[in-house]
Chain A
Amino acid sequence: MPRAFAALRRSIRFAPPALTALALAALPARGEETRREAAPIDVVVQAPPGSVRAPAAESTVVETSAFAGEVRSVAELLGSSPGVSLHALGGPGQTATVSLRGATADQSLVLLDGIPLHGPGGGAVDLSTLPATLLDRVVVSRGVLGAQFGAGALGGVVELVPRKAKARGAGAQLSVGSHGTAQLSGDIEFAEGGASALAAAELDTTQGDFPYSRQLTPEVSPDYSDFTRENADARRGSALVRWAQQLGADTELAVLLQAGAGVHGLPGPYTTPTQRSRALDQGGLLGARLRGEAGSAAWTVRAWGRIDRLELRGVQVVEDCADGEPSCPRLSQRSMAAHGEAELGFPFGDAHWLRVTAAGGEEWIAGTSTGPHRRGVASLALMDDVRLPGRVSVHPALRAELVGAQAAVSPGIAAAWRPFSGGPLVPVELRAGAGLSFRPPTLTELYLDQGVVLPNPDLEPEHAWSADAGVRWHGQVLTISAAAFYSRYRELISYELSPPIRVKPLNVARARIAGLELQAAVALPQAFVAEASYTYLDAVSLRDGNQDGHHLSYRPPHRLFARLARRGDRIEGYGEASFVSSMPRDSFDSAKLPAQLTLNAGLGARVVGTLWLDLEAKNLLDDRTHEDLFQYPLPGFTLAALARARF
């Protein structure tokens, strides 16, 4: 019944988030920075606030300490950065993804301590599975950065930097809030002599039964009707252990262990709720890094492995089903990756700091719908940090990669220039960059077979190039940056009809994405900080046929974020506003998701010793009509109380 195709294809895009997760892509590995803290190329007045691996890329650093006293998911931490699009399939505990500069979620890398994360068998990382309280900061680097980070970084890279032990001590935090939401986290750290260790854990739970509103008859009435979300509960536990030991004057061994497990309901879109669908996941990674110096050179050797498992219960292509019945088998998927890499950094002449990285590994997938598969990955990268006269630094990079049988080369270059050596304009910096890279098809795109969803082992990588330029003022109290970019994508993978009703991924789409990114932050008296960011995005399909010239779906043209916060010794608080403009919901600019304005605020005080009590309210307007991808509603007004202390 071919007319079923439209609904079927839609349902595949829709929802079982689990199915979405299964359709994600694998990422090759990449190296960890080995550049020393005092590398000889530090030509800028102040250290660039971005990634060490991509020094001149347009970037934003989000310090988690700036959000103390607030209940923040990783996705919410990213919300202050320009160039970021966040999508969530509901409230806390439900799948949330990030995409950069209009790329898809699986075209944006997410790294934890330099180790690439991805969903089981796929690319897009579910940010809801990552504990925010275990992070020290998040670095968002934008652009085609495959040369610096490896394949898959077409929109950019999100680097999650876990906390490090800084002193002997411990801390705890408890929050309780609306809709049965609670979080308990704690850590203990030790740092003495040449050794340091940190162990941290976070427990999250939510009932997720928030009220929401939707239009029942959108053609004739703007009125909304009220409903309550069901089967959106979630529980999760996460832990992080980080240990470092100085082995000699110039050598350090560091070990990182991160693990988590969770279960959550898959409530489905509000038009087709799935009250019996559940997802269970477990995952973890273990990494060890040895680094040191030899003369003027710096070296790093690193190995890591990660394992993930996802099980779906009561999930079918369109509707839910009764778990345990013959017609409703459980779907499971396991993925593993093991990786090793070595990097050597050394000066070359007076103006160059060269880095050579060699890496290799293998990734595996095994699942109900994919069968077992494996592929090797390898890369060789050369990066240079060049200091030129006139306060100019140039950062060329070249990476050759092999992912399975697919090989590609990713070149990239970025440059920064501080035109003024003295006077009030010293903080001005001009930047420009360009890159070309690829995203290999995921193992699920290659092998996922779910009856109506076909695999395609013949898929080719997606390709993209991008160029950007910007200017930044990075002063003591004021930081302002503006950047513009233009990118082209080709051979994009899209699920297309395979007659009579099945769908199959094919390399058929093309697009151009251009945008403007503005960001400002200013330190105000009385420990206040104000910041704002704005993103303009113009994402247009270049695909032949009737989609040509139309905007890509779910890319908001305008996104504005503003925040005023105070971090005092006794009183803290914040207020923030987030505006996301109306965006296309289809590929023809004919159906739109309405604009959304969200206001959040919090206030807290240190009541005794190091004990802080905070109260936080989100979605102050109690706008229950907010929704995100695929008709998934978002929570209205929520309230949370939070207590934290350090010992």
Chain B
Amino acid sequence: MRRTPILLFALAAACGSAQHTPPPLNTIPLPKGAALKPYDAANPGTPHPYNMAQIGGKVFVALGNLRPDYSVGGPGFLVGVVPSQGFKDVIDLGGADGRQCQNSGAVRTDGTMLYVTCSGDFSGSSGRALVEVDPAAAKATRTRTLAADQAPSGLAVTANKVWMGLSSSASLISVDRTTFALADGSDTHQAIALECPHKIYAYVPDLLTVGSDLYALCSSDQAGVIFRLDSSTGAVRDHANVGATPTALAATPDGRLAVVCSGDNTLWIATPGQGGTVTAQLAHTYAGGTATLQGVRSSARYVFTTASGSNTVQKIDVSVTPAKVVAEASMNAGTAPWDVAPLNDDEVVVSGSLSDDLTGLTAVDFKTAPQ
């Protein structure tokens, strides 16, 4: 009898938990057509959803708003989605002229505000920017326009700065969060240059802040490297080689970092050490049928990765060595899954860069690996 209240409490907690977090819609429509404010109504863009960030029970996804030839079709957008209901907020990032932010791609939050990078028109010089968004008001609050040679890719938010990796070089720039002026990379402070071996190209696809550390990936024609830097100054503390063409990194449930590499189909685990060091080990080589790894994010227990070339999403246990794919979901052909936002250990929202919608995946969508 004494056990009954405990069991009832546990049952109620479990049921209550399920009731409070209804599953995501399988298809979560995104704004399209005129809602994306096309520059040319006869040649509009499509959503091209890229990266996502979660805050306040919503998933915010950056829309590239690109035409089929990858030219910009309109301003960048950030869309707030309640996974179980659909999109709620459509936030135009383009500014007064609709061209201050184009091709928005990466988004991060500090728990209060959202920050979005805009890579701009690849064939021109417009639309490079960092935009600050107030999720509560669903409005862009500040925009820092960037130079043509400062097309940003990934970003990370610290207490004082928003760091951005550049897509044209192995360099980091930053914006002061107080003034929203360019700090590192301005006329008075040089950008942080990462010593990333390359002969043809190098860029910084993703960044992450963990405590006082800033982690940055470098992807080049010759190497893949993860750097550990001081998040205040950008001083490099250490670096370690990872696989070819790293594309994204995320903190793992046990405090390490997971890195996916699209070039050689691998997952790496980087481990921070004492004194600012970092080491990296190969954790998993994906099957030959898995192609073009793009995103990595963590839930409380698992790491989720996306592979745009095979339209698959993997659920991975990185607490074991080597890491084990415990479940996998297949998405529709032509989806090209890009980023994944875990809602819990069993449910995720996936952005497909070639899809016009977001996709919600639940436990039934994941095929589990044999034990």
Contact = CB atoms under 8 A, between A and B. Distances in A.
B291 A10 contact: yes
Majority SS at the chain A contact face: loop
A221 interface: yes
Interface of B: 40, 42-44, 50, 64, 67-71, 103, 105-106, 119-120, 122-123, 151, 153-154, 167-169, 197-201, 203-206, 219-224, 243-245, 247-248, 262-266, 285-292, 294, 308-312, 314, 325-330, 333-334, 336, 338, 353-354, 367-370
Contact of B265 (A7, A500, A591): A591
A135 B285 CA distance: 47
A257 interface: no
A586 interface: yes
A235 B151 CA distance: 46
Contacts of B221: 496-497, 508, 545
A594 B262 CA distance: 20
A8 B203 CA distance: 15
Contacts of A219: 286-287, 290, 312, 314, 325, 328, 369
Contacts of A221: 328, 367, 369
B284 to A, nearest CB: 9
Nearest to B151: A500
20 contacts: A2-B151, A3-B153, A4-B50, A6-B263, A217-B367, A218-B286, A218-B287, A220-B328, A271-B291, A271-B333, A318-B70, A327-B42, A327-B69, A496-B201, A497-B201, A499-B168, A500-B151, A544-B222, A545-B199, A546-B222
- Report the interface size class on chain A: 35 or more
A232 to B, nearest CB: 15
B200 A546 contact: no
Given A220-B325, A585-B288, A319 B334 contact: yes
A268 to B, nearest CB: 8
A80 to B, nearest CB: 28
B53 to A, nearest CB: 15
Contacts of B222: 544-546
A218 B329 CA distance: 10
B286 A271 contact: no
B190 to A, nearest CB: 19
Interface string A321-348: 1000011100000000000000000000
A587 B68 contact: no
A10 B222 CA distance: 17
A452 interface: yes
A319 B314 CA distance: 24
A3 B330 contact: no
A215 B69 contact: no
B354 A217 contact: no
B153 A586 contact: no
Contacts of A499: 151, 167-169, 201, 203
Given A219-B325, A588-B263, A328 B367 contact: no
A2 B153 contact: yes
A537 B86 CA distance: 54
Given A219-B286, A546-B223, A2 B167 contact: yes
- Taking each of A220, A498, A545, A586, which has the highest tally of chain B beta carbons within 10 Å of its own beta carbon? A220
A3 B263 CA distance: 12
B169 A216 contact: no
B291 A631 contact: yes
A270 B334 CA distance: 8
Nearest to A273: B333
Contacts of A502: 122-123
A271 B291 CA distance: 10
Given A1-B119, A7-B294, A272 B201 contact: no
Given A7-B292, A591-B291, A272 B333 contact: yes
Nearest to A274: B334
Contacts of A319: 68, 334, 354
B129 to A, nearest CB: 13
A451 B124 CA distance: 11
A488 B154 CA distance: 39
Contacts of B199: 508, 544-545
